[in-house]
């Protein structure tokens, strides 16, 4: 064993009070020294946004693990991506060896990942060159509650898989060409559930509807409802089909480079041929 423990930084988008965050801290504390820096309030669906309305205030707010141990934890008035900047520039005394975002209430599969605050923090970690896992637990579609920290949701299997891949990253670093490990754990998963490496689906995983009280002058909320997938709609080999169709754990290696995967020279040529 090395003399210095690994430094592990954990954040999320559900806020400092989330049981999913605590589950990640529990699981990762077996691998090293954990520091939690998380948004003070709910930041779901904030993507990698930088809000000018954030106050950036940092409060120390230690968390207690089930074994009674206390870990350093800080609540920040900011979006997940901003929290990451505050954590790296103001709070962490050293550069972390591993950064975790999650465990999120609800899946982040398909193209909604650019809306996800969980992913937003992971993008921010990755652009600082840190090995990072964005971890999410699927919620059952009928009762899904993404905002209220439902205490009855069991994050222990998701914690197990977060630690499993966290250990890999601590020992091996990120594979060449990979910026983020995106982990999706199905709701029914146990620690025995198989896992597989998947592609990121281009499908959207939420149907959008608008809840409006009255006329256009009244308040309205844009809500995402887990999309019903027709048989065959989620392509085999994707994150979406792993958790929704096969009920297995999905690990997607991601890039922060959003350039289309096409032959750019060929496109350039074809567009000049008028």
Partner 1 sequence: MNQKKYQILLTNDDGIDSPALWTAAEALSELGYVTVAAPQEQQSGTGRSFPITSTGTIRKQTLTVRGQEWPVYAVGGTPAQTVQHSLLEILPQKPDIIISGINYGENIGEIIHFSGTVGAALEAASADIPAIAVSQQLRDPDMYLSNSPDIDFSATAQITVRFARMLLENRFPASASVVNINTPANVTPDTPWHITRLSLHRVYQPVLRRKGGWEDKGEIGGKFTGIDFSTLPEDTDAYTLYHKHEVSVTPLTLDLTARVDLQELESKLRK
Site for partner 1 in 88-127 (CB under 8 A): 89-90, 111-115, 117, 120, 123, 127
Binder among 59, 64, 188, 191 for partner 1 (CB under 8 A): 59
Alpha-helical (H) ranges within 43-155 are 80-86, 117-127
From 29-37, 99-107, 134-142, 177-185, span contacting partner 1 (CB under 8 A): 177-185
61 binds partner 1 (CB under 8 A): no
Binder among 55, 62, 173, 188 for partner 1 (CB under 8 A): 55
Residue 94 tokens read as: 């050293």
**Cα 204 to chain centroid, rounded:** 16
Instruction: Please say which residue, 44 or 104, places its beta carbon nearer to partner 1.
Output: 44
Neighbours of 143 (CB within 10 A): 9
From 31-39, 64-72, 84-92, 240-248, span contacting partner 1 (CB under 8 A): 84-92
Give burial (CB, 10 Å; 0-12/13-18/19+) of 62: exposed
Instruction: Please say which residue, 66 or 261, places its beta carbon nearer to partner 1.
Output: 261
Contact yes or no for 13/122 (Cβ under 8 A)? no
Min dist CB 153 to partner 1, Å, is 19
From 14-22, 24-32, 132-140, 197-205, span contacting partner 1 (CB under 8 A): 197-205
Q: CB within 8 A of 104, min separation 6: which ones?
A: 12, 13, 14, 20, 116, 118, 134, 135, 136, 137
Helices 19-28, 156-172: crossing angle, 10 deg rounding: 50
Site residues (CB under 8 A) for partner 1, limited to 210-249: 210, 212, 216-222, 224, 237
Instruction: Please say which residue, 4 or 51, places its beta carbon nearer to partner 1.
Output: 51
Instruction: Please say which residue, 62 or 175, places its beta carbon nearer to partner 1.
Output: 175
Q: CA 129, CA 139: separation in Å to the nearest integer?
A: 30
81 binds partner 1 (CB under 8 A): yes
Instruction: Please say which residue, 68 or 219, places its beta carbon nearer to partner 1.
Output: 219
Q: What is the DSSP string of 24-40?
A: HHHHHTTTEEEEEEEES
Instruction: Please say which residue, 94 or 220, places its beta carbon nearer to partner 1.
Output: 220
192 binds partner 1 (CB under 8 A): no
Please give the size of the binding site for partner 1, defined by CB under 8 A: 80
199 binds partner 1 (CB under 8 A): yes
85 binds partner 1 (CB under 8 A): yes
Q: CA 167, CA 269: separation in Å to the nearest integer?
A: 46
DSSP at 50: -
Spell out where 61-198 has E strands: 63-64, 70-76, 98-105, 132-137, 180-185, 195-197
Instruction: Please say which residue, 81 or 163, places its beta carbon nearer to partner 1.
Output: 81
């Amino acid at each position: 064993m090395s003399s210095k423990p690994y430094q592990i930084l954990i954040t999320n988008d559900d806020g400092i009070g989330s049981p999913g965050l605590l589950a990640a801290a529990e699981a990762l504390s077996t691998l090293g020294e954990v520091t939690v820096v998380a948004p003070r309030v709910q930041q779901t669906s904030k993507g990698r946004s930088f809000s000018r309305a954030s106050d950036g205030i940092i409060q120390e707010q230690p968390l207690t693990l089930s074994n009674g141990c206390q870990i350093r934890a800080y609540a920040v008035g900011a979006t997940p991506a901003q929290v990451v900047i505050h954590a790296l520039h103001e709070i962490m005394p050293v550069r972390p060896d591993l950064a975790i975002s999650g465990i999120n209430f609800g899946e982040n599969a398909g193209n909604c990942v650019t809306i996800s605050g969980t992913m937003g923090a992971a993008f921010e970690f990755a652009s600082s060159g840190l090995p990072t896992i964005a971890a999410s637990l699927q919620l059952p579609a009928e009762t899904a509650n993404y905002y209220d920290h439902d205490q009855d949701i069991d994050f222990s299997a998701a914690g197990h898989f977060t630690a499993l891949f966290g250990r890999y990253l601590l020992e091996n670093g990120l594979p060449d060409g990979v910026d983020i490990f995106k982990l999706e754990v199905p709701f029914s998963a146990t620690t025995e559930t198989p896992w597989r490496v998947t592609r990121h689906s281009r499908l959207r995983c939420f149907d959008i509807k608008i809840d409006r009280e009255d006329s256009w002058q009244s308040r309205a909320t844009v809500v995402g409802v887990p999309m019903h997938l027709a048989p065959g709609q989620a392509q085999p080999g994707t994150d979406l089909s792993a958790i929704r169709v096969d009920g297995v754990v999905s690990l997607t290696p991601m890039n922060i480079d959003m350039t289309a995967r096409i032959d750019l020279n060929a496109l350039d040529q074809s567009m000049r041929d008028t």
